[in-house]
Amino acid sequence: MSRLSDLFEAAHDPRAPLLHVAFDTGDHGQPGPVVVMIHGIASSAATFVFVRPLVEPGHRVIAIELLGFGGSPAPENAEYTLEEHVAAIARTIRELELDRPFVLVGHSLGTLIAARYAATHGDRVSKLVLVSPPVYLSPDEIGDPRVRGAVGGYLQAYRFFRANKDFTIAHAAVVSKLLPVKHVMEITEQNWTAFVKSLEHCIESQTVISDLARVESPIEVVYGRFDEFLVPGNLAIIERMRGVTTHVVNASDHMIRKPMARVVAAAIGA
């Protein structure tokens, strides 16, 4: 069986967990396409608190919480690979019985999962919106020494976070208190396994470039100029790809705050 066939079959695994739909609101008359939102690592549907009210008029808006995060299950045997995340998202979307293609929005880790879903379920996605995508190629694949050094630094930091549980949980708790939205970043004993395995298996080792190369629908990329997880040299690869439109939000970071929410809503078509 080919690698692509393997990915397709994994994404249709009937044994995949059914995820928590945090909200399903807006205009169910659907004058505009349905919008499905997927948050990032160590987060929840709270990621989209500023986007949701901008999109609800004229759209049915659905937020799905990732495997191991928010209100979704955390199976004991889960490895939190990209294939497992996509299979769970795919099953949950099938259960929603959407009758036409929808706009798929991903933030951070959610962009990597959304890209793979769109690559393997092309007929379901009318538009792909990637917000703050953490694009990291393997350092061995990067020719520019500055970009290679930046990626190496991020990967080293992520390995440190995974190896130092108490520090990481305590640091996240401090940062979380400073953010304007509750539950937008939470690393706890309860989601620790989901966090470290998703970090290792999806973010540190990723296939987003090859996944996006297979996406036929339009791709909108939104990111903040001061995104602390951004490697411009890597993101530039996506910006040059066919069908990609990029929106840079000045004075914004990785989180979707109000200024970025307006750009994301416009990218969705609200």
**Ranges of each domain in the chain:** 3-268
**Structure confidence at residue 30 (pLDDT):** 64
Cβ-Cβ contacts under 8 Å for 1 (sequence gap 6 or more):
9
CA distance 220 to 111: 11
The span from the first CA to the last CA of the chain, in angstroms, equals 41
Are 195 and 42 spatial neighbours (Cβ–Cβ below 8 Å)?
A: yes
Q: 167: closest CA among 196, 198, 204?
A: 196
**3-11 helix and 109-120 helix, angle to the nearest 10 degrees:** 110
pLDDT confidence of residue 76: 93
Q: How many CB atoms lie within 10 A of CB 59?
A: 26
Q: Quick check: 61 and 52 in contact, CB under 8 A?
A: yes
- Among 107, 83, 93, 90, CA closest to 21: 93
What DSSP state is assigned to residue 45?
G
Neighbours of 228 (CB within 10 A): 10
* pLDDT at res. 147: 86
Nearest to 124 by CA among 212, 245, 25, 36: 36
Residue 233's pLDDT is: 87
For residue 176, what pLDDT is reported? 93
- Global confidence as pTM: 0.93
- The series of mean pLDDT values per 10 residues for the chain, 270 residues long, is 43 81 82 93 97 94 97 96 97 94 98 98 96 90 85 93 97 92 93 98 94 96 95 90 95 95 94
Given the structure tokens 């962009």, which residue do they identify?
A: 111
For 256, the token pair is: 């979707």
In this prediction, residue 270 carries a pLDDT of 66
Ramachandran class of 223: left when φ > 0, alpha when ψ lies in -120 to 50, beta otherwise: beta
User: How many other CB atoms are there within 10 angstroms of residue 264's CB atom?
Assistant: 26
Sheet bearing 60-64, strands edge to edge: 21-26, 60-64, 35-38, 102-107, 125-131, 219-224, 244-249
Fold of the CATH domain 3-268: Rossmann fold (3.40.50)
